[in-house]
Structure 1
Amino acid sequence: MSIFISTDALASALGDTRLRIVDATLFLPGTPRDARAEFEAGLIPGAAFLDLDTLADPNDPAPHSLPTDDAMTQRVQALGIDADSRIILYDNSPIRSAARAWWMMRLYGVGASAAILDGGLPKWLAEGRATASGAATPAPGTATARIDRAQVRSKADMLANLASGESQMLDARGAGRFTGTEAEPRPGMASGHIPGSRNLPYSALFAADNSMKSPEELRALYESAGIDLSRPVITTCGSGVTAAILLAGLETLGANDVSIYDGSWAEWGFDPATPKATGAA
């Protein structure tokens, strides 16, 4: 299965017994919206709610840090996911959080395949497609989650990369946060970016209908940000969520050495010992 699935393809697949549709909506801190309440008010038929905001390691101070294998296993089984499930992830969030959930499913080896609904719930609704309300409880699944740490970068990895320059670093935050001219949403966090990083705001990857832009447009965006698609890339953002959008775009273009710094700026920006830069890339 490709990274993205169209609304037409999902509509045609409804009723497939292997299909598991998952709402992965997540909002930034301070956003006056309730992801679960919105899900229950209007969901794609058959969907279950992931509650991505709570799918994290409670012992890690960085928000949205990756959960333990056991916690991930419990969550996906509660969603009714089996080892051979066909998983479709969508969201209704400005930060396109389904990409983070897609990356996590793959990272933990969950299900036979996973894909992101291109355009998410906004496109589905704009096309007048059917929705349901209320939250059904699926039969427990049997999938087992085991993380592949080779796809994740730590703060130590990032510090080592500053010395080696082996991988390019690409930040998905908006230009104001990247340059340091706009304050971070979390109190006490430094502004700026990891030295040597390039910047490509995740929002630039989407068309007006909320779907991902064409491969030609994506390639132009990455190249204009100074990224060489033939070299390794580590994507970063505020807390590891929108970095997954840049990773999905890179892999759409055939890049095969792409990883995410999961702690991202939420970890780096709070640490007074890490080097920080401001201004343009």
Structure 2
Amino acid sequence: MKAIKRFAATTLMVVAAWVSTSSSVLASEHLVSTDWLEKNLNNPKVKLIEVSVNPGVYERGHIAGASNFVWHTDLVDTVKRDIVAKDQFQQLLRKAGVSKDSTVVLYGDTNNWFAAWGAWIFDIYQVPNVKLLDGGRSKWEAEKRPLTLAQKAVKPGNITLGEPDYSLRAGLQDVLAIAEKRRDYSLIDIRSKDEYEGKVFAPAGVQELAVRAGHVPGAVNVPWGSAVAADGSFKSKEELKQLYAAVGIDGSKPVVVYCRIGERSSHTWFALKKILGYDVRNYDGSWTEYGNSVGVPITNIAGTVWGGK
């Protein structure tokens, strides 16, 4: 009897340790681990989609079975600087084999920035059961998991999209109302400290620029990278709560996040919305829209003046 009790106690300790480990690895049900994904690559219900920003990454090798979505042509209106239209997006999803009972897993390069952008658009169109590969392509490669050059033929899916939920999106007028204190929202600038303070107009080498530097008045600065561990996976739910609570973001009121063109802020939107469960909107116009708008208030700590070069 004592041996049985000892065995039972040991088993409970092992289970408790496993649960603790699992919860620390995955901060949310909206994430999947690299281990889970590798074990489910042949699951017909799992539809894998790569959304990378760097040209040729998918073609040089991708996770087996993944379809390729090109963010700047597939996920946006290329003329209007808007998100992809419903009919076009539905056709894209069906071509990738997505049906109403599919589990969609998104992943990409650069710490899942554009994969998170994809997750945000999937949420706007209310696509069910969408996950992000925790740590993205970088973590998969670092663990030396397999890539392939082969592009697998996909049986078309049958998903039907409803009307878009624009409550997940903020526009210029929404952000201006927050800046002028006509709307009681929290505002997070997730760019680097130098961008936030106005020391630089944009990260080195980028093409999308604003004529003014600085940030939206009232915005706090929590660079997107603060939300991830060294391997690119999200920090635990408790760590994320503490991170944002330190700057007064506790979920008690709605939050708007922004960056330069909306991709890095999508990553923070995912952390706040999908892990912490806060009411969050992504301002995809971000600094390239706000910083180029005439007459809007701006805080520029560094005092830089654009020279037109």
The yes-or-no answer on 1:57 pairing with 2:77 is yes
Query: Structure 2 residue aligned with 1:108, among 111, 125, 130?
Result: 125
Distance of aligned partners of 1:95 and 1:123 in 2 relative to their CA distance in 1, 3 Å threshold: closer
Which position in structure 1 is the counterpart of 2:36?
A: 9
**Letter of the aligned partner of 2:62 in structure 1?**
L
Q: Deviations over 1:83-121 (max 9, x none)?
A: 2211000012256321111111121122x3101000111
Which position in structure 2 is the counterpart of 1:78?
A: 95
Conserved in 2, the CA contact under 8 Å of 1:194 and 1:276?
A: yes
The yes-or-no answer on 1:275 pairing with 2:297 is yes
Q: Distance in 2 between matches of 1:187 and 1:150?
A: 27
Q: Tell me by how many angstroms 1:23 deviates.
A: 0.4
Which position in structure 2 is the counterpart of 1:199?
A: 221
Distance of aligned partners of 1:221 and 1:256 in 2 relative to their CA distance in 1, 3 Å threshold: closer
Q: Deviations over 1:110-144 (max 9, x none)?
A: 2x310100011111122221221133342322223
> Which secondary structure does the structure 2 equivalent of 1:105 belong to?
helix
Q: Distance in 1 between matches of 2:239 and 2:274?
A: 12
1:29-178 paired onto structure 2 within 5 Å:
33-34=54-55, 37-54=56-73, 55-60=75-80, 62=81, 65-94=82-111, 96-110=113-127, 112-145=128-161, 146-162=163-179, 163-178=181-196
Distance of aligned partners of 1:210 and 1:237 in 2 relative to their CA distance in 1, 3 Å threshold: same
> Which secondary structure does the structure 1 equivalent of 2:245 belong to?
helix
> Which secondary structure does the structure 2 equivalent of 1:164 belong to?
coil
Q: Distance in 2 between matches of 1:15 and 1:242?
A: 31
Conserved in 2, the CA contact under 8 Å of 1:177 and 1:183?
A: yes
**Letter of the aligned partner of 2:272 in structure 1?**
L
**Letter of the aligned partner of 2:136 in structure 1?**
G
Q: Deviations over 1:221-245 (max 9, x none)?
A: 2122332322211111111111111
Distance of aligned partners of 1:151 and 1:251 in 2 relative to their CA distance in 1, 3 Å threshold: closer
> Which secondary structure does the structure 2 equivalent of 1:97 belong to?
helix
Gapped regions of structure 2 (runs ≥ 5): 1-27, 303-309
Choose 68-77 or 91-100, whichever is displaced more: 91-100
Runs ≥4 residues deviating over 4 A: none
Higher helix proportion (structure 1 or 2): 2
* Structure having the higher Rg: 2
**Letter of the aligned partner of 2:78 in structure 1?**
P
Conserved in 2, the CA contact under 8 Å of 1:192 and 1:277?
A: yes
Q: Distance in 2 between matches of 1:226 and 1:256?
A: 13
Normalising by the residue count of structure 1, what TM-score does the alignment of the two structures yield? 0.88
Figure out how many residues of one structure are paired with residues of the other and give that number. Answer: 268
Distance of aligned partners of 1:80 and 1:50 in 2 relative to their CA distance in 1, 3 Å threshold: same
Q: Tell me by how many angstroms 1:257 deviates.
A: 1.2
